Structure 1
């Protein structure tokens, strides 16, 4: 079986990225780099690395789609999506290859396999707060959704499920694809026996016993807008809709009064709400 890794970049750090690529190449993987940075990083990579660039930032969904289509052209059987801020090691790569193929044998209609995500902030496993996964055999968990980094897709399912929704641009892209796959009868699984160290957000803020992920102010536009866009869709889980309807005002309070750049954050939230109510998708109009 041939595996490809699709790594999406945006102003990356060189050393950890090259370490990940070296490990993947040593394991015989095809590596596709999709760079959303304005400046090219192609000179970092050897000739055997496939490099695509969108200097005006096409968004994570478009970047992933370009990588998936190239992986199909290169006749890969599986493609792992990877963020630039995840950390690989030899044992993880070997385990992912073995466990992905095992999941394919165990589950008919497998849409995607994902490892357990471990936060770089506290080195604890990231667990679902509301919708608990269903335990299956051999350490696999049937999930409603998994995050993109580490998500490994049998490329044969793409023609049926479709590619990532480019109109969402960034936030919610991975979850929407998982829900759409399940609507078509596919299964998404997470692996309790394999873990990936991954960074989510720029920092953490703890208030009243609750830990909030704090990212760049612009991300709030996409988060609020895409939640309002996805709330309208019948295949989006009810628990997710209810949780986010409760969380949106709480997150507004945190970002407006308890973190830096609060005024700017408020403007992005307002713009996201306005465009979400209008069902507007695509790139933020002044995000250059």
Structure 2
């Protein structure tokens, strides 16, 4: 039986030119595209972009508009619900700035089918990621206790501890067993938490070099002591610190991962405070994120520093 593949694209104030490029390539590879907009200021431009493609393509395109930003997890789940209701057997998650190549989806499917033939329980499969501007290829992360084995797939799929949501292909049956995305996190760690949840159900996660995607992690990347780290806005540090606490408290998250989170969060705060031009904002949002994690406050950040 042929796959019915649905792409879920969450938009929030997207670059319309990038969105159009993504859409042109995407309509040739999936049967359904569900856009979920999180209250973008340029929502009218998104509607125009989507409507033009829908009239000229056999791929059905749907736009779900939220009146305000309800968070990445909420938007992903509304898109997944719409895709499952339409009978999708495979779900492809994408950010609005992620650009895929021709043959991307078929290559993901081929790599997944090869793994399934080997008797492996594949929870999700993702691509290898690179930054077109810098030429950097992002490594795939595999935890060994508290240590990280950073893998750069060359000729075959490699197992990962977690996958970036954007570019990730998941079977509907896996979603039915593992569950939807965590809406309480709002943003950040959503894909990591889902990955560990899938692993706790006996699934394995893989990344394949057969599919490549241009993707930018963080607002910027800088080198520190020979390592590349992602820089985020002060507000994002709130979610990163708060949700890190949730991850440490979560029973199915690997102990080695928890150890690394506890140790490195303090180091990250010091590094970001040194590099940032908004040191007090970074400090306030980080501390309040940590505090809200301890007192189990979830959802959208209510602070404005």
CA drift at 1:121? 5.0
Query: Per the alignment, do residues 54 and 201 of structure 1 end up closer, same or farther by CA in structure 2, a change over 3 Å counting?
Result: same
Deviation at 1:252, TM superposition (A): 1.1
Shift of 1:175: 0.8
The correspondence of residues 87-106 of structure 1 with structure 2, limited to 5 A, is 87-106=99-118
CA 1:29–1:207 in 2, change beyond 3 Å: closer, same or farther? same
CA contact (8 A) 2:112 2:122 kept: no
Residue in structure 1 matched with residue 57 of structure 2 by the alignment: none
1:60 is matched with 72
Aligned to 1:146: 163
Map residues 86-165 of structure 1 onto 2, 5 A cutoff: 86-127=98-139, 128=141, 130-132=147-149, 139-165=156-182
Where do residues 15-54 of structure 1 align in structure 2 (5 Å cutoff)?
15-39=17-41, 40=43, 41-46=46-51, 47=54, 48-54=60-66
- Are 2:192 and 1:175 equivalent residues in the alignment? yes
Tell me the alpha carbon deviations over residues 16-53 of structure 1, each in whole angstroms, 9 at most, x when there is no partner.
11111111212343111011134323222124420012
Do the aligned partners of 1:81 and 1:148 also contact (CA within 8 Å) in 2?
yes
Residue 133 of structure 1 contacts residue 142 of structure 1 at CA under 8 Å; is this kept in 2? Answer: no
Uncovered stretches (5+) of structure 2, i.e. residues with no partner: 55-59
Distance 1:86 1:135 in 2: 19
Residue 123 of structure 1 deviates from its aligned partner by 2.3
Task: Work out whether residues 108 and 208 of structure 2, in 8 Å CA contact, stay in contact via their aligned partners in 1.
Answer: no
Cα drift, residue 281 of structure 1: 1.4
Instruction: Give the unaligned 5+ runs of structure 1.
Output: none
Structure 1 vs Structure 2 CA RMSD: 2.2
Structure 2 equivalent of residue 281 of structure 1? 298
The residue matched to 1:71 in structure 2 has which SS? helix
Count how many residue pairs are aligned between Structure 1 and Structure 2: 286
* Whole-Å separation in 1 of the counterparts to 2:170 and 2:24: 22
Query: Structure 1 residues 117, 135: CA separation in 2 closer, same or farther (over 3 Å shift)?
Result: closer
The worse-fitting range, judged by mean Cα deviation, of 51-60 and 21-30 is: 21-30
- The alpha-carbon deviation at position 109 of structure 1 amounts to 3.2
1:216-266 per-position Cα deviation (integer Å, ceiling 9, x unaligned): 211100000011111012211222212222211111112222222221111
Tell me which moved more, 178-187 or 97-106: 97-106
Please name the residue that 2:237 is paired with.
220
| Alignment partner, residue 184 of structure 1 | 201
Asked whether the equivalents of residues 131 and 239 of structure 1 are also in contact (C-alpha less than 8 Å), the reply is: no
Residue 246 (structure 2) pairs with residue 265 (structure 1):
no
Question: Greater shift after overlay, 47-56 or 180-189?
Answer: 47-56
CA distance in 2, matches of 1:133, 1:261: 31
TM-score by length of 1: 0.91
Once the two structures are overlaid, the 10-residue window that deviates more, 222-231 or 51-60, is: 51-60
- Shifted more, 55-64 versus 199-208: the winner is 199-208
Q: Which residue of 2 aligns with 1:248?
A: 265
Quote the residue 2:89 is aligned against: 77
What's the CA shift string for 1:69-114, capped at 9, x where partnerless?
1110111110110011211121323322433444444444321111
